[in-house]
Amino acid sequence: HLTQSVVSGNNATNALGGGIFSQGTLTVTDTSISGNSASQGGGITQQGGMMTLTNSAIHGNTASLSTTGGVVMGGTATVGLI
């Protein structure tokens, strides 16, 4: 659970989820996720499980192998936006 946090300036070279990689339950509240990079899912990669984003910003992330700079959802992942 991330609350009132900043996730910035991370790099997952040749991997997924530069800022955050999650395979379970992820709850993000009042958090900024920016300036991260990865091959896919520069900001967040959610592989299965449930991701809930509340009052958070995902911006300025990049992906070198796709257009998924912000968020990649895989497997049976679901998302709730509040």
pLDDT per position as a tens digit, 24-67: 999 999 999 999 999 999 999 999 999 999 999 999 999 999 87
pLDDT of residue 78: 84
> Residue 26 is encoded by which pair of tokens?
């992820």
Residues 6 or more apart whose CB falls under 8 angstroms from that of 60 comprise 34, 35
CA 50, CA 25: separation in Å to the nearest integer? Answer: 5
> Residue 19 is encoded by which pair of tokens?
């800022």
pLDDT at 75 over 90: no
- State pTM to two decimals: 0.90
Tell me the sheet residues that pair with 46: 22, 73
3-class secondary-structure state, position 37? strand
DSSP state of 64: S
